[in-house]
Structure formats: C-alpha cells, structure tokens
Structure 1
C-alpha cells in the first residue's frame, strides 16, 4: 500500500517537472516562427522628384528669360508636382549667387560669355554647371532679307554674294541697309563689315536712333515691299512677325572679328558674328539631390523659332508673360513632354 502511494507521488512530481520544459519549448518555437515570418509593414514612399525644398527659378529682366522662367515653373508643377519659386534675377548677380550659395537652383537663360569670370569661378568651385543649351543654336546675330527679296534672288544665300547681287535690286541705286542704333556695338561692326564685303556705295547704311525706330523702319519697308537688307538678332518677335531669311555670314574669324569691333580697323576682313554660349544653368545640388529635375532641364533646349513665336504672342494687345506661359503649357504639350521624358499626369 505504502509502496503504491510512493510510486504515485513520484509520478506526479515527474509530470510537474516536465511541464515547464514543454512550455519553454513551445515559447521558443513560437519565437523562432515569429522571427522567421516576413514582416508585412508598408514600404517606404519614394522621395518626391523635387526633394523637400522649393525649386527656385531666376526670372531675368528680358522677355525671353521671363517667359522661360514662367514656363518651366508651370511644367515642373504640373508634371512633377514641384513647389516652385520664381525669383527676380540679374545676369551677373544670379551667376554670382548660384556660384556661392547654390541659389537660385535654376537660371533658364544664362548668357555665359557675358559673365565669363563669375561663371567660371562658380564652375571651378563645383557650385553650378550647365544642364543644356537654352536654344538649339549658338549664332544669334546676322543680316537678313525679306522673303520677297530672297524669292526674287534665289541664288543669294550668303553675304559674300551681295556685291554681285545688289546692283540688280534697286535700278542701280543704293539699297537701304537698316543697321542698329549708332551707340550699339553692332553698328560699328556693321559699318566695318560693309567695307570688308566691298559694299561701300552699294548700300545706304541707316542707323536708327532707337530700337523702336529700327523696328518701325523695317516694318514700313516690308509693307512697301521695298528691297532692303537689315541687321537683327534672335530670339526676337520681329523675326516671327515677318518672313525673313538669314544670310550666311561665313565663318567666324577671331582676329578679323576683333578688328571689326574697333573704330580704327585699317583693313577689315569679313567674319561671322561671334557665337554666344547660352545655357540652362543649374546649381550643382540639383544634379546630386534631385536628378529627375536635372534630367528634365538637360532635355529642355528650345528652337529659336519657337521662342520668336512666343515673343510675338507677348506683343499682342493685353498679353502678359504669365498668360503666354499658360498658353504654351496648354497648347504645346507635344514639345514640353519631351523635356519631362515620361507621361505627365
């Protein structure tokens, strides 16, 4: 009897001693299972294309740069949901600020050759660099013919052919050449080019007092279908409002061009006008911090004819820079979508 009671007690003690071990095994198994099970947390959202700070764009003081600033601001907002600040800009001050502080982030029309020292310092400091040419051209100045003159003289495509062609234009009388105001550098260059091309006596050089008079003289001559030759530059509304044909000014010769720009040029030699470097400038941090936006600007070069059209729209009664920019974004998605690179929402 006592033996059986002792055996029962020993069995009960043994059973109780096993329970914690079994429980511990169960807990360890559950912990291992939990550790092996994949987590189902929400994936982190990708950073926004423009980062966490507003993208500042310099709006320079001339019409084409104003239009570009407002156009890019609207496309960045629409296609990338960016917060954009358009800030007043000045060529030298903006280049200096970008090169020292990285702000503004973007200058859509930076004429590098006109602020070369400031620009080069910023590039060497690795604070800014070009994203792309602003325009798909580097030659912005030249001599032009009205389309009706070009049609009447299809063989005349270059300034070098003017000496042979001009005597047939105006019954042998000198042809008017509308240059730029006499206090502009282009007036001096044009005078020397007339000599260099052997056109003295064949052209009547007219130097209007102002830009407004210059445009008026050209418009009046075209309205009369007068055979004229004139100097102009791009981008500019005038070249879109009328049908003008550029003359090939030949190759650029640096030494010849230097002489053409001097009042005392004893032996002028023909040369094309100097090319200009005009770029979309970005602060360096745009390339490193928001590469999608840098990529957008690297694709944003514009044809000069497109800008000429925009400037002509800006000359319409009641037009504003903001209104023309809105119109461009609404009507020219076929163009700016290529800058974006992906379908816009």
Structure 2
C-alpha cells in the first residue's frame, strides 16, 4: 500500500466503520490512548480523553508514548488502542505493512494541513550572515555554540526514542557535519531541546538543529527553516534515512509530513462509537500553535490546554460530535 492509497483509507474509513450518531454511554467501554511526550500530541490525547469521557461515557486511560515505541507496541502487542498524533515519516514502510496485514487502521489525519520538519536557525542569525541553506550554516560552526567541545559548533538532535533522532543522525552523517566542525548534541528530552533554543535566544546566540511544527517554540521565537538543496528520495528515505545505523546515508529532503491518528484493528472493529469521533477529529497548525503558545505562556499542563481549547474553540470541536455529545461536554467543562 502506498501513502497515496493510505490516504485514501481516510476517505473510506467512515463508510466502513461509521455508526449511528447516538449511543448509550455504556457502549463506549474502556480504551487506552498514548500521551506522546511532545506538546501537540499530549494536548491531543487530553482533548480526546475529555471528549470521550464526558461526551460518550468512555473510560479512558492515558499511557506514556513515543513515535517508534508506541507504533511498535501497537503493531506487535495491540496496545495502546489509540495513538492520536503519529508522525509517520519514520515508520512508513512498517505502517503500510501493518495496514496491509490488518493490524493497524488509520482513523484520521489529525493535522489537516500536515506537519513541518527540518533544520532551523534563528532568523536574526540567518539574515545577519546571509544563511539560507544547511551548507551555508555548516560553513560557520563558530555561530552555533553549545557543543561539549567549545571548538566545535553544536547541531542539536531530537530526544531519544523520537523518530527524528535516527533521521537527524543520518542527515548529520550525510552532510559530513563532523568534518565541518560540528558535534551532534543529544538534547536529552523535549524540555532540553526547547531549553536549548530558549537559551540561545536569551543569549542572542545562534542555534542549529532539528525542529518541527506545530509547536509553541516556533510561535514564540522567530526561526528560519534551512533549504537542504536536494529533493526527497522515497526509496532512500524508507531504506536508509529512517534506518538506525544506516551505513551510507545520503542527504534527503523531508517528505510532506503526514500526521495520522492510528488505532489497532481489533479496537477499530469493536469500538464504532470511538472510531466515528476519531474519524472526524482534526485541527489545523494555526489552531495548535495558538494553543501551545497559550500553554507555554501560562505554564499549563496538557490537561489545562485541553480544557482551554474546549472552552475557547467550540467552533472547532463541536464539528466533530453530535449536538447531544457537544451539550454533554459543554456542561462538563
């Protein structure tokens, strides 16, 4: 199955598993949802939890998740039941196989306008030094401090367990960045990655590394995405760029970032009420960026963000549910 045909699943899923809009509360049952450890996915998990519990009477348990470990667990063990925000660039081949073999179902494309991934630097640094491409940046290791070896520039990677950690390591090798005076820096955690950017801006220093949207950071700080100067090579991406310890990686542009809600096939077959909701649930990058910026400004938790969204964006979420369910959720918040 190609990703084009995978997207086609979204168009027919509702026909396959859609059910009547009204359900008794006890028909929803129990489910587990992965609360991924980045802000937009954690927020999505809590939005789903509140709507499903308050609107449909579900019993929802949130479990800690990451892209690759969560997908692997769903594929091999059938748990958790739902991954609300699965960035599939690093798992395209096994995801397609899991769909073909009937283990995983795509419920929806949660980010209606897709995600954005790449290498970024502060816009101020880019303009002052006429930097537009990754090669331009690699020519100036002195502009990007933060490496353990102060004689080298810092190239920040993703936290362990994230799909982008493998991708960035392979891109770093393909660029020959070490030979150009850079050190690949392990950010340690999502908070560590964000903190490295905030620290650079506070010190008016350069920063170079992987980041993505939607995020609060890109709403708070003016960053420029660097051009890689190459096209996306799907075969190389699937067979090397996303493969840990690939022997000879080549520089490869990120493909369009599909961001899906994935569920186990067994869960999809037995939970029509939840699947109907998940099939309609999607939001834009602008909406999520606004929410994440609010959360950052107010030191809010994922739960806080979910309630803020439900209270302030009814025009978005009420389109996902029936009037009866919307009334129940509104009464609860």
Q: Work out whether the TM-score is over 0.5.
A: yes
Mapped pair 1:48 → 2:23: yes
Instruction: State the shift of 1:143 in Å.
Output: 0.9
Q: Is the 8 A contact 1:178 1:218 kept in 2?
A: no
Mapped pair 1:175 → 2:143: yes
1:231: which partner in 2?
210
Q: 1:47 and 1:342 mapped to 2: Cα distance?
A: 10
Higher-Rg structure is 1
* Greater relative contact order, per chain length (Cα 8 Å cut-off, separation 6+): 2
In structure 2, which of residues 269, 277, 282 is the aligned counterpart of residue 296 of structure 1? Answer: 277
Q: Any stretches of 5+ residues in structure 2 without a counterpart?
A: 1-19, 145-152, 328-333
Q: 1:174 and 1:305 mapped to 2: Cα distance?
A: 34
In structure 2, which of residues 184, 200, 218 is the aligned counterpart of residue 207 of structure 1? Answer: 184
The TM-score with structure 2 as length reference comes to 0.62
User: Quick one: structure 1 residues 73 and 93, their matched pair in 2 at CA, closer, same or farther if it must change by over 3 Å?
Assistant: same
User: Quick one: structure 1 residues 278 and 128, their matched pair in 2 at CA, closer, same or farther if it must change by over 3 Å?
Assistant: same
Task: Could you list the structure 1 runs, at least 4 aligned residues long, displaced by more than 6 angstroms after superposition.
Answer: 285-290
What are the equivalent positions in structure 2 for 1:273-288 lying under 5 Å apart?
273=254, 277-282=258-263
Q: 1:341 and 1:149 mapped to 2: Cα distance?
A: 49
In structure 2, which of residues 56, 78, 81 is the aligned counterpart of residue 82 of structure 1? Answer: 56
What are the equivalent positions in structure 2 for 1:1-345 lying under 5 Å apart?
47-48=22-23, 52-54=27-29, 56-64=31-39, 65-76=41-52, 81-89=55-63, 90=65, 91=70, 92-96=72-76, 98=78, 104=81, 106-111=82-87, 114=91, 117=94, 120-121=97-98, 124-125=101-102, 128-136=104-112, 140-149=116-125, 158-159=133-134, 162-163=135-136, 174-176=142-144, 178-181=154-157, 184-186=165-167, 188-195=169-176, 201=180, 204-211=181-188, 214-249=193-228, 250-254=230-234, 257=237, 265=248, 269-273=250-254, 277-282=258-263, 294-315=275-296, 319-340=300-321, 344-345=326-327
User: Quick one: structure 1 residues 123 and 158, their matched pair in 2 at CA, closer, same or farther if it must change by over 3 Å?
Assistant: same
User: Quick one: structure 1 residues 98 and 137, their matched pair in 2 at CA, closer, same or farther if it must change by over 3 Å?
Assistant: farther
Q: Deviations over 1:173-232 (max 9, x none)?
A: 843264235985355334334349xx965xx52433533555444323323433544332
**Greater CA deviation, 232-241 or 309-318?**
309-318
Instruction: State the shift of 1:132 in Å.
Output: 1.4
The TM-score with structure 1 as length reference comes to 0.61
Instruction: State the shift of 1:329 in Å.
Output: 0.8
User: Quick one: structure 1 residues 342 and 124, their matched pair in 2 at CA, closer, same or farther if it must change by over 3 Å?
Assistant: farther
Q: 1:234 and 1:298 mapped to 2: Cα distance?
A: 22
Instruction: State the shift of 1:94 in Å.
Output: 3.7
Q: Deviations over 1:270-303 (max 9, x none)?
A: 3213566542124558877776754432232333
Q: Any stretches of 5+ residues in structure 1 without a counterpart?
A: 1-44
Q: 1:299 and 1:226 mapped to 2: Cα distance?
A: 43
User: Quick one: structure 1 residues 96 and 134, their matched pair in 2 at CA, closer, same or farther if it must change by over 3 Å?
Assistant: farther
